[in-house]
């Protein structure tokens, strides 16, 4: 009986190794795209809140005040709600926005990308601070990527210096830039 031609074990292992290498490259390539998409969504959410704050200011001649404290929707900054009277930006919902955004990574426990944010993992969230005259809105410990790439971003928080440099995105009025 004649032998049928077949693949050798070495040929099969080479093909499996090539497929594994290609799938690893594909996963790495799509991972950075997902990070960029999440950061873009954070920036878009902050711009939307900023526009709602400006509408609030036009109607009330002041921004919603926090008494100078930082309020957020994560446990480290008060676990405020995303809407209603106890929201992390009071009186903004439902008149100016249906609900405040809630980042999917709020209170994440794997903030190992930087030492500042990994010390207390429950501090990753959107924050709002206002004295009624000025405000600062930030995505605190939420941007993903290296601190140097975050610091080079136009949304990077100029007031977050020292160990916090490159860990926050922020939108603010001129008087709140250094907060």
**Which tens digits make up the pLDDT trace of 139-171?**
888 887 777 777 788 888 887 766 666 778 899
Neighbours of 113 (CB within 10 A): 17
Q: Which residue has the higher pLDDT, 72 or 119?
A: 72
pLDDT at res. 162: 63
pTM over 0.85: no
β strands within the chain, DSSP E: 70-72, 125-130, 135-140, 168-172
Give residues with Cβ within 8 angstroms of 79, minimum separation 6: 73
pLDDT at res. 171: 92
State the Rg of the chain over Cα. Answer: 23
- % of the chain residues with pLDDT over 90: 34
- Give strand pairing partners of 51: none
Give residues with Cβ within 8 angstroms of 64, minimum separation 6: 53, 56, 89, 90, 91, 92, 128, 130, 132, 135
């Amino acid at each position: 009986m004649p032998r049928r031609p077949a693949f050798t074990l070495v040929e099969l292992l080479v093909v499996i190794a090539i497929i594994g290498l290609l799938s690893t490259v594909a996963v790495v390539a799509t991972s950075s795209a997902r990070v960029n998409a999440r950061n873009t969504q954070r920036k878009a959410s902050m711009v939307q809140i900023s526009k709602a704050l400006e509408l609030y200011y036009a109607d009330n001649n002041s921004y919603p005040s926090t008494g100078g404290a930082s309020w957020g929707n994560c446990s480290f900054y008060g676990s405020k709600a995303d809407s209603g009277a106890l929201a992390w930006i009071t009186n903004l919902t439902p008149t100016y926005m249906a609900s405040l955004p809630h980042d999917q990574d709020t209170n994440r426990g794997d903030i190992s990308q930087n030492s500042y944010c990994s010390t207390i993992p429950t501090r990753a969230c959107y924050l709002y601070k206002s004295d009624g005259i000025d405000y600062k809105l930030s995505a605190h410990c939420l941007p993903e990527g290296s601190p140097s790439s975050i610091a080079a971003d136009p949304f990077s928080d100029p007031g977050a210096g020292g160990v916090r440099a490159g860990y926050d995105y922020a939108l603010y009025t001129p008087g709140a830039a250094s907060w």
